[in-house]
Amino acid sequence: MPSIAILGAGAMGSGLANALTRAGWDVNLWGTWLDDHLIDAIEAGTPHPRIDTVISDRVTTFRSGDLAEALEGVDVVALSVASVGVPKVVEMALDGISKADALWLTTKGFLPMPDGRIQLLPDGIRRIADEAGVTIPPIVAIAGPVKANECAANEPTATIFGCRDYDVAVKYAREARSDHYCIEPSNDEVGVEVCAPMKNVYAIMLGIADGLEEKTGHPHHNLKAATFAQAVREMSILSQKLGADAATAFGLPGVGDLEVTGLSGRNKVYGVRIGRGEGAKAAMKTMEELEQTVEGVNAIPLAIDLVEQSAPDVKDQMPLLYAARTIVYDDDPEFANIVARAVLPPMP
């Protein structure tokens, strides 16, 4: 029976834990120093506070001080912390990661290097390991239309495991699959890792169209659909420029995850607030007061830096990304026109 240590007992780490117990895995779930209340709920058998689902009693829980025990002898380590926590948690877990057969990654985000360069998460993790003189196993990038609550509750879920070594992706796609948790293997690590954080940015822009509908009383479905199409185009252009397959942006990590993220979740809710006219900065304050991290907001400047550093010749083909920066960071009250200008075709 394969075994795994999942690092991070938030929504996704816990959702993955439930999915893997169904596939017959031995699961250790480690909570960071921010997760004690989540571990309390799991151990008490009450619903996980973030996903309102009970976590299987076959999952073994560990608190932040017990990381070494959680990592002891496992076949796989999975990183499920927020992107901001990745460098620290990777450094803490490097010894255990180096002894595992694979490192899985459900975290979505870009990693800024100390010199300001932006890396995709797997590259950043490999750099951290290199700098520490540690060899780590293959990385499996996990993404796709996966809401943690539905995954935890055994609703039908399709996901993608992207690994440079396709055989490794296939091995784990087979071993982790259960009736309702189905995995597409891929060798396109880059495509998975570009789409995963970018779709959080674009979900904010989809939310704006919904907020405009609330504000005006008129549907803005045409605007929303044009925004969706432009978002997919931009994910495809950037990921291919960085070496990805064309198909990835049009598959589970791109179109699939954009659809689910644009339906619900913190990025979409934040966009709705902007669309309603709450103001980008005021809406962000409200989200912070509600302890709702909007990952897409942090991803905007990192994505723009990535474009300008690594793919400057496609900059002009990414107007929606730049519109997101103007709306969110400049709090421009003309946001509705800015979205429209970014997504409506120009005069041919």
Q: Is 9 annotated as a binding residue?
A: yes
Q: Is 108 annotated as a binding residue?
A: yes
Q: Is 222 annotated as a binding residue?
A: no
Residue nearest to ligand NAD (CB): 10
Q: Is 28 annotated as a binding residue?
A: no
Minimum CB separation of residue 297 from ligand NAD in Å reads: 13
Check: CB of residue 23 under 8 Å from CB of residue 2.
no
Query: Helix, strand or coil for residue 263?
Result: helix
Q: Is 10 annotated as a binding residue?
A: yes
The nearer residue to ligand NAD, 63 or 108, going by C-beta atoms, is 108
The residue type of 60 is T
The nearer residue to ligand NAD, 18 or 338, going by C-beta atoms, is 18
Residue among 121, 101, 260 nearest 189 (CA): 121
Query: DSSP states of 37-102 as a string?
Result: HHHHHHHHTPPPTTT--PPPTTEEEE-GGGHHHHHTT-SEEEE-S-GGGHHHHHHHHHHHHHHSSE
Minimum CB separation of residue 190 from ligand NAD in Å reads: 17
- The answer for residues whose C-beta is within 8 angstroms of residue 279's C-beta and 6 or more apart is 331, 333
Minimum CB separation of residue 86 from ligand NAD in Å reads: 8
Query: Helix, strand or coil for residue 192?
Result: helix
Selected catalytic residue, list 147, 171, 199, 268: 199
Alpha-carbon distance of 23 to 176, in angstroms, equals 6
Residue among 287, 283, 275, 278 nearest 217 (CA): 275
The residue type of 121 is L
Q: Is 12 annotated as a binding residue?
A: yes
Q: Catalytic: 199?
A: yes
Alpha-carbon distance of 217 to 147, in angstroms, equals 29
The nearer residue to ligand NAD, 108 or 224, going by C-beta atoms, is 108
The nearer residue to ligand NAD, 223 or 321, going by C-beta atoms, is 321
Minimum CB separation of residue 32 from ligand NAD in Å reads: 4
Minimum CB separation of residue 150 from ligand NAD in Å reads: 8
Contacts with ligand NAD, residue ranges (CB under 6 A): 8-13, 32, 34-35, 50, 80-85, 88-89, 106-109, 146-148, 295
Residues acting as catalytic residues: 199
Q: Which residues are annotated as a binding site for substrate?
A: 108, 266-267
Q: Which residues are annotated as a binding site for NAD(+)?
A: 8-13, 148, 266
